Structure 1
Amino acid sequence: MPVKLKYPWMGVVIPCLLTSFIGYSAHIFVLANFMSWKLQLWFQSSLTMLWISYALAIFTNPGRPAKSFKPLKKEWTHFCKKCQLFKPERAHHCKTCNQCVLMMDHHCPWTMNCVGFKNFPHFLRFLFWVVVTTGFLLYQLLKRTIYLWGVKDLPSYLFEKTEITFLIILIPMDGFVLITVALLFIRCLSNQIIGGKTQIESWELERLENLYYRKKLLPQLLVNLWEIYPNEKTPENKVLAKKLQERGRKVRFENIVTFPYDLDIWSNALTVLGSPVQWLWLFGGPDSDGMHFKKNELALYEEGAAIEDLLLSLPWPPDGGRNFIQQKGTNVESITENGEQVIRQRNFENDNSYRKTWNNDWGENLEDFGVDVDVE
């Protein structure tokens, strides 16, 4: 569940104070007592990389769409009334940053900034250097503790009480930071590199699965199919679509929905991080514009393909982010009864099918990621 702070500036102050206290007190009161100057220099270099990456994650704009951007054919058209421009695929309007963010992952309270296409490499490098620095420090602190425990029978005047005090304080603090940031780092790698998805898109996929198991997804996908590809609405395909609906849950979720931007681990990494020679370079980043993305083979449209393949080629999200058809300003739901499509008025209050209010198993909704649902 994303963290919400009463005073947003505390999101930057807390990490800065924590990093300063752990990093510099550990060096002054512990590491300087036994570590070689080369290792001390390495530790400070790592700490400096952490600071610079953090500053870049804070101050680098996550990326905004060009005013000249126009949606491609056979893609959803989303116009942001606040930015007064079209939103590219994977972009969302952040309520806090007050802008549309390219490939928005989430709004991060610890940087007071969105994590998006332009600053995701800085954010990931920041997490990487936190893990490296705290991991190295924890190893050295534990190593020193084991040594002191081994010589505990020596006279007490040979030991620095300040060093022992800081070892007792720093080991749990450093271990806590290492574990929490490592888990976030792993989550980012799992989402963006292994799965090719932002956190919002992972949430979106869960939402679609929820609709599928409640038998609400397939009817909407078929409605969208005829909207995006009207040339495919042939009598033969209409019959096949009817048979597909009759099969219901016998149609597997992965046969009608695919995440189009997941290519392979290497290609996913290149998409969000750019050239591998720049992955650890402080100012390295992606090479593309963040408004158009390559899609995998399953998501490519082929005229005259089978119904299931046509559904897989729908733009993301395949339900258009609108589980219910909008008609004459009234919220109505599209369902199928006895093989016939029926449209009826629906009250969205307390309806967890509605995209703007749907919560996943973690209790997360779009607003928790910073998305301005009023302009979605």
Structure 2
Amino acid sequence: MDGTILRKLAVPAVLSLIAFLAYSSQLLFLQLEPGPLDRRQSLIFNALVGCLLICYMRACRTDPGRVPEGWQPRVKTSKQADDNKHESTRETPKSIPQRWCRKCEAPKPPRAHHCRLCQRCILKMDHHCPWTLNCVSHRVFPHFIRFLFYAVAAMTCLGYFLYLRAALIFQSRNLPSYLGPSVLQLTHLFLLLLTTFLTWTALTILLLRTAYSLFTNTTTIESWELERHATLLHRARHFGGVLDGPDGQRIPIRKQEFPYDIGIWRNCVQGMGAANPLAWFWPFAASPSVESGLEFEVNGFESEDAVWPPPDPDRMARGWPRPWEEGRSAFVHGDEGVDVEAFRRRQEQDIKRWRRDGEGVVRRKPFVERLEASVRWEQDGDGDGEEGEQSEDSDEDEVERRPVAVNVRGEESWKNSEGESLADFGLDEDAEFYDEEDIPLSVLLQRKRLQKAE
């Protein structure tokens, strides 16, 4: 309840801050030398404040977008020349790699994420902003960056006006006090200077970071994923280029280029929703359409089969039931050179890496716990002897009792260099880390239709 009340107070707090800086300062200028703002200064400053308020309210009130009901990924057709390389071609359907959200029980478009506060998948979600009570998304991003731009511009002007008056007061510091401003006026001026400086610094940093995201066409979440991918690459180098995945799998980890960076100009056009630079600064510019946020142009550095984010063993769900649990072999006839026994031993170890949380949901143990248990298991033996098995069990119990620096729910507690996890951006971690199933999209859609029919 307390968190809900604080969230509801965020927008009034921002509006109060804007009113304090923009309008109480102009009242103070009436009482300080060199007097109130002249006509030109007043027109420029109040115009910037007006644009700031318009963009802020649009950033708060614009619908961040939702996946249309019944939407399904488009099926591409790739033209392939025949074997004789004649001019004739044939159409071969090729599906775009699919993503599925368990919370929405619907296909998830590229770059969309499930927001735990909005309770739905948001198109090209950047983060859920606590100061606008809205998701910064494909449709909201242009208003959000315009709000930051006009806020920094307005506070730059205000800082200049405040500096002129503070400099005059400092120059006349040796005059009798009755010739200068009152204590109340000095206190007001000091608060304006301090608040303006702190707010301007914070918003300038945020504006520069947001502009960088615009130029590179990366969201805040995707920046987190890029750093996560680099961590997995570094980690995989110590394990021969692979990491342990669900059900004893060995997941190859290779460097994957970010697919949505298509050049600075086209990145800006896509992010701002218009090709006219003047429209980028117009407070009443139209919001990008929902349809334009369902698919995004890629740079072609990776194959069409590659998806973003790259494979992450801790974001893969287990396949239930597994073929070898149904009495069938996990390997087909003709698999030569495969060490079946080694695979089964790895599978048994993987099963021990999973546990149920308080809600009965199967979670992967944190990487730190799994790595420590694996190292101790290898040091105590290969697990074939009775002594090795006993020491392994005791090690597992010891790991369970030992406090670790990560959340017990799994690798979703991983944080980037700034100490941020996906939950800090408003994402529903259960949906983000366990929404990918190794099941064809047609089967998932069929399940959903059957559930509606029932």
| Residue in 1 that maps onto 2:307 | 315
Residue in 1 aligned with 2:192?
Answer: 170
Partner of 1:349: 365
CA distance in 2: counterparts of 1:102 and 1:136, whole angstroms: 35
Q: How does 1:153-232 map to 2 (within 5 A)?
A: 153-161=174-182, 162-190=184-212, 192-215=213-236, 218-219=241-242
- Identity in percent: 33
Question: Given residue 38 of structure 1, which amino acid in structure 2 is its aligned partner?
Answer: R
1:31 shift after superposition: 6.3
Consecutive unaligned residues of structure 2, counting only runs of 5 or more, are: 75-93, 323-336, 355-363, 371-409, 433-454
Indicate conservation of the 8 Å contact 1:211/1:217, yes or no: no
Aligned to 1:304: none
Q: CA deviation at 1:315?
A: 1.4
SS at 1:9 equivalent: helix
Scaled by the length of structure 2, the TM-score of the pair is 0.65
Larger deviation, residues 280-289 vs 270-279: 280-289
Q: Distance in 1 between matches of 2:233 and 2:294?
A: 29
- Write the distance in 1 (CA, Å) between the matches of 2:241 and 2:16: 51
Q: Does 1:277 align with 2:333?
A: no
Residue 362 (str. 1) matches residue 418 (str. 2): yes
The residue number in structure 1 matching 2:133 is 112
1:367 partner amino acid: A
Contact 1:103 1:117 in 2 (8 A): yes
Whichever residue aligns with residue 193 of structure 1, its letter is L
Of the candidates 166, 170, 175, which is equivalent to residue 145 of structure 1? 166
SS at match of 2:292: coil
1:320 Cα offset (Å): 6.5
Looking at structure 2, the residues matched to 204 and 359 of structure 1 have their Cα atoms a distance apart, in angstroms, of: 10
1:41 to 40, 43, 57: 43
RMSD: 3.0
- For the residue of structure 2 that corresponds to 1:100, the secondary structure is strand
Report Cα offsets for 1:110-166 as digits up to 9, x if no partner: 011111000111111111111011111011101211122223344444433244332
Aligned length: 326
TM-score (norm 1): 0.78
Which among 298, 302, 322 is matched to residue 295 of structure 1?
Answer: 298
Is the CA contact 1:62–1:116 (under 8 Å) kept in the aligned structure 2?
yes
- Give deviations 1:59-78, integer Å, cap 9, x for gaps: 10111122232124554423
Q: Deviations over 1:239-262 (max 9, x none)?
A: xxx9xx7xx9xxxx6xx3100001
Query: Residues 374 and 321 (structure 1 numbering): CA distance in 2 closer, same or farther, change over 3 Å?
Result: same
Structure 2 CA distance for partners of 1:36 and 1:85, relative to 1, 3 Å: same
List per-residue Cα deviations over 1:287-330 (Å, max 9, x = no partner). Answer: 661111011131354xxxxxxxxxxx611112178554632258
Deviation at 1:182, TM superposition (A): 0.8
Letter in 2 for 1:206: E
What amino acid is aligned across from residue 71 of structure 2 in structure 1? F
Report the 3-state secondary structure (helix = DSSP H, G, I; strand = E; otherwise coil) of the residue aligned with 1:8.
helix
Matched, 1:78 2:99: yes
> Does the C-alpha gap of structure 1 residues 355 and 183 become closer, same or farther in structure 2, counting only changes over 3 Å?
same
> Structure 1 residues 38 and 321 mapped into 2: Cα distance closer, same or farther (>3 Å)?
farther
In the alignment, the residues of structure 1 paired with residue 170 and residue 270 of structure 2 have an alpha-carbon distance, to the nearest angstrom, of 49
Distance in structure 2 (CA, Å) of the matches to 1:38 and 1:65: 47
Tell me the equivalent position of 1:375. Answer: 431
Q: Structure 1 residues 268 and 156 mapped into 2: Cα distance closer, same or farther (>3 Å)?
A: same
User: Kindly tell me: are residues 25 and 34 of structure 1, through their superposed partners in 2, closer, same or farther at Cα, counting changes over 3 Å?
Assistant: same
**Following the alignment from structure 1 to structure 2, what is the Cα–Cα distance between the partners of residues 118 and 265?**
19
Alignment-derived partner of residue 123 in structure 1: 144
Conservation of the 8 A alpha-carbon contact between 2:10 and 2:133: yes
Instruction: Report if aligned partners of 1:65, 1:101 keep a CA contact under 8 Å in 2.
Output: yes
1:52 deviates by 1.1
Deviation at 1:102, TM superposition (A): 0.3
Larger radius of gyration: 2
The residue aligned with 2:57 is 55
Please state if 1:328 is matched with 2:320. Answer: yes
**1:5 and 1:109 in contact (8 A); partners too:** no
Contact 1:5 1:11 (8 Å CA) reproduced: no
**TM-aligned CA deviation for residue 367 of structure 1:** 1.4
